[in-house]
């Protein structure tokens, strides 16, 4: 079982939302050090100050996970200044709530860079030390969107399908070459953090309370669970998709459970809370 006490934890997108709550929980459970990577400098400063005021050791880094050179630079600094990372939460992500033809090329590229390439490159930066040490845990925040298509989520869903496939493949590889390096994939539905503001909860799939899903994630990490799907109804999607004809699935599940209309009134976080100009130029994105 993975223990948080006396471990060094790194969380991408860790200055806000689920990332911040995960950091708080890890510190409460005795993490030796918390490394926060985030693109929003103000949130990074505020979160660091709040945690340090409680006597915790925090190492903030301003990092753009859509930029490979930024990842490499931050990883080098983290390893030299803090040391090996024991637990890595790949949490940073963005969403664009538009039909595909309404996306700009820049929005498409930015989503894939952050949600897919960023996740892979961050893991690649820290996994060698985990393998050499013979222990470590990588937690990849994917999405229930990795199991089902959805209008106005084409690029986001594709990015999460990619993360799901990569994360599961990584798990299988580690089980062969470094069995004590664990990989957990987290697939939640909509969470009440503001990232999916305006999205409506599908039938049988209520909006997730942030603290509840954080509790679920922490429990899954401690138990070395392979995958966490939340809420429980997400577990039905792979089965229904695999057994029902596509058109029947569209009608019974997609339309009948209101999944396909869940993004109809998507708003996202207010622009005042959006990611800084450095990574949001010409974009209407929001961070997890």
C-alpha to C-alpha distance for 127 and 106, rounded to whole angstroms: 30
DSSP 98: S
Averaged pLDDT score across all residues of the chain: 93
Any idea what the CATH number is for the domain that residue 27 is in? Answer: 3.40.50.720
> Does the pLDDT value for residue 278 go beyond 50?
no
The residues annotated with a catalytic role in the active site are 156
Residue 3 lies in a domain: no
Residue 271 lies in a domain: yes
Residue 282 lies in a domain: yes
Q: Which domain does 60 fall in, by range?
A: 8-287
Of 170, 217, 176, residue with least CA distance to 26 = 217
Whether residue 208 contacts residue 231, with contact meaning beta carbons closer than 8 Å, is answered with yes
Instruction: Quote the pTM value.
Output: 0.92
Q: Is the peptide bond before 231 cis (omega within 30 degrees of 0)?
A: yes
Of 274, 239, 277, 282, residue with least CA distance to 17 = 274
Whether residue 188 contacts residue 157, with contact meaning beta carbons closer than 8 Å, is answered with no
**Number of domains into which the chain is organized:** 1
Of 172, 177, 145, residue with least CA distance to 161 = 145
pLDDT, tens digit, 9 for 90 and up, residues 183-195: 999 999 999 988 9
Residue 189 lies in a domain: yes
Residue 92 lies in a domain: yes
Residue 113 lies in a domain: yes
pLDDT, tens digit, 9 for 90 and up, residues 69-106: 999 999 999 999 999 999 999 999 999 999 999 999 99
C-alpha to C-alpha distance for 35 and 58, rounded to whole angstroms: 6
Token pair of 2, please? 């993975």
Residue 1 lies in a domain: no
Encode 142-176: b = buried (16+ Cβ within 10 Å), e = exposed: bbbbbbbbbbbbbbbbbbbbbbbebbbebbeebee
Token pair of 48, please? 């660091």
Share above pLDDT 70 across residues of the chain, in percent, rounded to a whole number:
93
pLDDT at position 194 is: 86
pLDDT, tens digit, 9 for 90 and up, residues 217-250: 999 999 999 999 999 999 999 999 999 999 999 9
Residue 2 lies in a domain: no
pLDDT, tens digit, 9 for 90 and up, residues 42-71: 999 999 999 999 999 999 999 999 999 999
Within 30-153, where are the H helices?
41-52, 68-81, 105-112, 119-133
């Amino acid at each position: 079982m993975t223990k948080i006490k006396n471990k060094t934890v790194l969380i991408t997108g860790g200055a806000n939302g689920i990332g911040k709550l995960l950091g708080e929980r890890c510190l409460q459970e005795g993490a030796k050090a918390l490394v926060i990577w985030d693109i929003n400098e103000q949130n990074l400063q505020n979160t660091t100050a709040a945690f340090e005021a409680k006597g915790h050791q925090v190492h903030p880094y301003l990092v753009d996970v859509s930029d490979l050179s930024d990842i490499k630079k931050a990883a080098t600094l983290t390893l030299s200044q803090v040391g090996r990372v024991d637990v890595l939460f790949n949490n940073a992500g963005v969403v664009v709530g538009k039909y595909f033809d309404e996306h700009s090329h820049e929005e498409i590229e930015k989503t894939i860079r952050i949600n897919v390439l960023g996740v892979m490159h961050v893991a690649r930066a820290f996994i060698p030390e985990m393998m050499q040490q013979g222990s470590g845990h990588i937690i990849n925040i994917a999405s229930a969107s990795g199991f089902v298509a959805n209008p106005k989520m084409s690029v986001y869903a594709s990015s999460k399908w990619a993360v799901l496939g990569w994360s599961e493949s990584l798990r299988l590889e580690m089980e062969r070459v470094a069995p004590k390096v664990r990989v957990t994939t987290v697939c939640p539905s909509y969470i009440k953090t503001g990232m999916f503001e305006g999205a409506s909860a599908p039938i049988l799939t209520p909006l997730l309370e942030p603290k509840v899903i954080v509790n679920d994630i922490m429990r899954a990490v401690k138990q070395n669970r392979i995958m966490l799907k939340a809420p429980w109804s997400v577990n039905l999607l792979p089965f229904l998709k695999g057994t029902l004809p596509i058109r029947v699935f569209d009608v019974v599940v997609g339309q009948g459970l209101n999944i396909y209309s869940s993004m109809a009134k998507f708003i996202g976080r207010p622009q005042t809370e959006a990611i800084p100009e450095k990574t949001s130029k010409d974009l209407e994105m929001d961070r997890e």
